[in-house]
Amino acid sequence: MNKPNPFLDLARQQELYGHAARLAGRTSALMRAKTSGHPVPETIVSLVQTHHARPDRLGVVLDIGCGRGTSSLALAEQLRPQRVVGLDAAPSLLAQARERVTELPDTTVDFIEGDFHDLPLPAGSCDIAVAAFCLYHSPQPKDVIAQIARILAPGGLAVLVTKDLDSYQEMDRLVASAGLDPQADQHESLYTAAHSRNLADLAASSLDVIAVLDEEHSFTFDGHDHTAQYLATNPKYDLAPGLYGNPGALAATLHEFLPDQPLVTRSRITFVVAQPNEGRRP
Ligand SMILES: C[S@@+](CC[C@H](N)C(=O)[O-])C[C@H]1O[C@@H](n2cnc3c(N)ncnc32)[C@H](O)[C@@H]1O
């Protein structure tokens, strides 16, 4: 029997997002490896500035699945709306997001716990809703899009962001060839529920899509030690006990079975900008 996709398995999400330091380590390993591709928060800000009629007079900006708040803080600093609300299901990430807030004149920033299938905001209350790298954690991403359509004000915008199905496939090959998980390149993509090729269709289930942007991001990890810092918390692989969450042990195993080498990999990032369909409003 096929194992459930780890990104849709609630128990695995607790393991992935229950420790802010672990997620920060993984993200920082990926960012140090990046060789091309704009910072995602900057692209989100620029899409809002391009497509919203009054980006200089925004009310509420909602960052759904905000994690440690990186995009929320960029949205606050660069768009200066009245209020930014970051929403996430993981309390440990929200706690770290709150610690990262710096005071801004005229913009308040709040982080709240919630489930994106049932957004705790009134209908028509948000000018912008961002959902970056989180819709692939929903077994029913269209339900989340319907919630976004509900909370957007007339003239509001949604910016949805995801990765392509084959992102980082060179890592799968490395893990398989080192014998860490011989089936590594045959597992289902983590991004199956919401990926570059179905994101616009998902958005169109409740919104009008007005722009789609694809961007190639490239990464070079220096060698096994660097690669292991990202791989160690990747739930895609069936690693031997003691390797998951343990970059040192994972790096030692890679060194044992493969000569040290840089790992070059890539990911396509897709941004979909969509607006409420006025005709569908009740
Ligand atoms: C990969 S992180 C993305 C964080 C951030 N948006 C970014 O771009 O860096 C995915 C986030 O989605 C959150 N998430 C997963 N399921 C959720 C749900 N049902 N409701 C709200 N947030 C959820 C996780 O807790 C995690 O913080």
Residue 112: φ, ψ to 5°:
-125, 150
For 238, the 3-state DSSP assignment is: coil
Q: What is the DSSP string of 10-42?
A: HHHHHHHHS-HHHHHHHHHHHHHHEEES--HHH
Identify which of 271, 233, 248 has the alpha carbon closest to the alpha carbon of residue 6: 233
Res 164 pLDDT > 50: yes
Q: How far apart are the first and last CA of the chain?
A: 44
Please give the pLDDT value at position 23: 86
Q: In the chain, where are the structural domains located?
A: 6-166+185-220+266-276
Residue nearest to atom 13 of ligand 1 (CA): 65
Locate the ligand 1 atom nearest the alpha carbon of residue 17 and give its number.
25
State whether the beta carbon of 207 lies less than 6 angstroms from ligand 1. no
Q: What's the whole-model pTM score? A: 0.95
Superfamily per CATH, domain 6-166+185-220+266-276? Vaccinia Virus protein VP39 (3.40.50.150)
Pocket perturbation via mutation, ligand 1, pick of 45, 61, 71, 88 by most ligand atoms within 8 A of CB: 88
Compute the CA torsion angle 96, 57, 37, 267 (nearest 10 deg).
Answer: 70
pLDDT range class, residue 280, cuts 50, 70, 90 = low
- What is the Cα 44 distance to its own chain's centre? 12
List pLDDT tens digits, range 205-245.
999 999 999 999 999 999 999 999 999 989 999 999 899 98
Share of the chain above pLDDT 70, in %: 98
Res 101 pLDDT > 90: yes
C-alpha to C-alpha distances, 7 to 4, 17, 84, 89, 220, nearest whole angstrom:
8, 11, 27, 14, 24
pLDDT range class, residue 55, cuts 50, 70, 90 = very high
Pocket perturbation via mutation, ligand 1, pick of 61, 134, 270 by most ligand atoms within 8 A of CB: 134
